[in-house]
Amino acid sequence: MLDAKWIFKNKFGLLSIEDTKYKTRLVDKGYNQKKGVDYNEILSLFIRHMSIRILLPLVATMDM
């Protein structure tokens, strides 16, 4: 398993400071990879909104 690091970034708006957006992302520390061990690991933390819209009613109907 590879180590990960959180990256925090502020995106400032063009008109005022109130338009500032706070962005975060999780990145792998790729320099810790070992040849033949970690190269094939893939992880995606993002989910499509359509998937959430499908799962939430199922969870509600099954009382999960």
Q: Token match 């990879």: residue? A: 33
Mean pLDDT calculated for residue range 8-28: 82
Confidence of residue 32 (pLDDT cuts 50, 70, 90): low
Q: Residue 44 pLDDT > 70, yes or no?
A: no
Position with higher pLDDT, 8 vs 37? 8
In the chain, the amino acid numbered 63 is D
Mean pLDDT calculated for residue range 28-41: 68
> Reduced to 3 states, what is the DSSP secondary structure of residue 26?
strand
CA distances to 1, 38, 61 from 49, rounded to whole Å, are 28, 30, 19
pLDDT of amino acid 52: 84
